Amino acid sequence: MTGIALVGAGRMARVHAASIAAAGAQVATIYDPIEEAACSLARNTGARVAATAAEAMADPAADAIMIATSSDTHVELLLEAVRTGKPVLCEKPLASSYEASRKFVAAIGEAAARKVFLGFNRRFDRGHAAVREGVHAGRIGRLEQLTITSRDPFPPPLEYIPRSGGLFRDMMIHDFDMARSIVGKPMVSVTAHGSSIIDPEVGRLGDVDTASVTMLAEDGTIVTILNSRRCAFGFDQRIEAFGEKGMLLSDNPRQSGFTAFTREAPGTAAPILEFFMERYGPSYTEEIRLFIDCAREGRDMPVNAIDGLMAAYLAEAATTSLAQGKTIILTGPDQEFSK
């Protein structure tokens, strides 16, 4: 059985603790700056409580490390974790900016970066994964167009906007990673459009709440990403991959198989899933299972700090494109990572 040092005891840490048990591993040690939170989660999992993150990570009963703390602590904790030589999983984002991500990868080196599992959980959604696997298996031949739609059910509070890094870094980051994982080829240009159409206040804070990004991949594949901070009918999360031999679609699952047929509402289905724990809950379980497998076998992580860096790079380019009102041509050393 694999023992895990869990750094953080908040909401995501509790979700991960359940997945750890489901995967047949166990939480060995927990650290959280709020001791009460650590103790409570320790009681439920049979773990011991560590006095510091470093102590938790160094615990001999911990074969692997999971970091589920606030975003601003990720880089520092990751550096600590990498020093232990143990496999580590960190919640996204890797760092607060592309620049910080780049420095982190430079500091630990590419080989080590590929051993850091980065929690882009949506890759493990059953429908999205079936699209990616179908594309990679050649079911639609050469990929020609990829369209990703991500719409949150409701916007975050206005006070969150200034510290969010902007829609592209905060929200579309998942879609940049998804696009990279499906296309599997370097992007050569990014063009962003956006509006603060839901709430003009967002515009005054320098951000957008509705956005569209077009990317061209090196082989001509056209990627389109649509984001909205608000969606009246639920958590709209879809992917459409179109290629020479057909199309693969990951549509929104519904809450049940219920449909009403009446004269007024002639075919009203159950709503789509509400928000991320409903829709992506199972993907977290899958993610943790995969991390534990890779950790046991000492493999490179299938989604890692290099992916975090590259998604941040695309978010950076989109932010620049919107600000300058023009297409950004992607060049430079970072391109090499996606080869």
Shortest separation between residue 312's beta carbon and its own copies, angstroms? 23
Should residue 121 be labelled a site residue for its own copies when binding is judged by CB under 8 A?
Answer: no
Among 206, 268, 277, 323, binds its own copies (CB under 8 A): 268
What is the distance between the alpha carbons of residues 331 and 189, in angstroms, rounded to a whole number?
A: 9
Should residue 188 be labelled a site residue for its own copies when binding is judged by CB under 8 A?
Answer: no
Should residue 224 be labelled a site residue for its own copies when binding is judged by CB under 8 A?
Answer: yes
Closest CA to 56 of 64, 22, 1: 64
Should residue 126 be labelled a site residue for its own copies when binding is judged by CB under 8 A?
Answer: yes
Separation in Å, CA 52 to CA 56, 81, 253: 6, 12, 42
Binders in 27-86 for its own copies, by CB under 8 A:
none
Should residue 11 be labelled a site residue for its own copies when binding is judged by CB under 8 A?
Answer: no
Single out the segment in contact with its own copies by CB under 8 A; choices: 2-10, 110-118, 141-149, 331-339: 141-149
Return phi, psi of residue 177, to 5°: -65, -45
| Angle CA 42–47–53, to nearest 5 | 85
Shortest separation between residue 214's beta carbon and its own copies, angstroms? 5
Binders in 271-290 for its own copies, by CB under 8 A:
271-272
- Judged by beta carbon, residue 250 or residue 304, the one nearer its own copies is 250
Should residue 233 be labelled a site residue for its own copies when binding is judged by CB under 8 A?
Answer: yes
- DSSP string covering 151-188: E-SSPPPGGGHHHHT-HHHHTTHHHHHHHHHHH-S-EE
Interface mask toward its own copies for 202-221; x: CB under 8 A: --------xxx-x-x--xxx
- Judged by beta carbon, residue 256 or residue 331, the one nearer its own copies is 256
**Segment 108-112 long-range contacts (CB within 8 Å, at least 24 positions apart):** 108/78, 108/79, 108/82, 108/305, 110/306, 110/337, 112/82
Should residue 326 be labelled a site residue for its own copies when binding is judged by CB under 8 A?
Answer: yes
